[in-house]
Amino acid sequence: MPHTLAGLFWRALYETGIMIGASGAISFAVGLPLGLVLLATSEGGIFQTLWLNRVLGGLVNAIRSTPFIILLVALIPITRLIVGTSIGLWAAVVPLTVASTPFFARLVEVAARGVPPGLVEAAKAMGATRWQILRHVLLPEAFSAIVANFTITIVSMINASAMAGAVGAGGLGDLAMRFGYQRFDDLVMAEVVGALILIVTCVQYAGDALARRLDHQ
């Protein structure tokens, strides 16, 4: 039993890693520009377009207010369309990505809003186009805060991935549920939770260290 359980543990760790890695990468790639668009199209933004801001903002809020377990089920048709199946590891990547992208986008928006308006004004004064302001001022100046916020996103994704067991994706959370909770095996439960704490701590530490390196304030 201990041998098989260890095997299950490494497998679960691998599954969690894949889920977080894939969803995290997509969330970053999509959430980063989405967050900047949210800021730029808002009132007083460099690309002020209020209708677009309201549409995107509404969509982001709608997804963010839907509980993940509901999203998991509600997205099944879309998941099937994208990965061809509604169960298994990759089937969990879709709802995880959909849930974390708007979350991260909002955090990017907040980070970019923290760039002093004087810097944008200085860039305008030196003849920067609006795209150049985004690329050379807002993004690099907010990047350290964006990295810190991406760390938060990853941690909340690890949290949400525990529910991915509902679509048979496995992962550490699923292991804890099935063996620890449903079979009343306190030891497995404790081990898995311990492992999750360790992972989150490492992610947070690495994220903080990177953010600090990038911060020249």
Partner 1 sequence: MTAAAKGASVRFAEVGKSYEPRGGATVEALRSVSFDVAPGEIFGIVGRSGAGKSSLIRLVNGLETPSAGSVSVDGIDVGSLSARDLPEFRRRIGMIFQGFNLLHAKTVEDNVALPLVLAGRSWKEARAKAGDWLGLVGLDDKRKVFPARLSGGQKQRVGIARALALNPSLLLSDEATSALDPESTRSILALLRDINRRLGVTILLITHEMEVIRQVADRVGVLEAGRLVEEGPVWKVFGSPAHEATRSILAPKDREALATSPGRVLVEIDFTGADSVDPDLFVITQALGPGCRLVEGAVERIQGRAAGRLIFSVPEPQNGEGERLIGRLKPIAPKAEFI
Task: Name the residues that contact partner 1, by CB under 8 A.
Answer: 116, 118-119, 121-129, 132, 136-137, 140-141, 143-144, 214-217
Q: Give least dist CB 61 to partner 1, A.
A: 24
Q: Which lies closer to partner 1 via its Cβ, residue 131 or residue 181?
A: 131
Compare residues 62 and 122 and give the one whose CB is closer to partner 1.
Answer: 122
Q: With respect to partner 1, which residue has the nearer C-beta, 7 or 140? A: 140
Minimal distance, residue 204 CB to partner 1, in Å: 22
Q: Is the distance from CB of 118 to CB of 138 less than 8 angstroms?
A: no
Min dist CB 141 to partner 1, Å, is 5
Give the nearer residue to partner 1 in terms of CB position, either 186 or 215.
Answer: 215
- Give least dist CB 52 to partner 1, A: 18
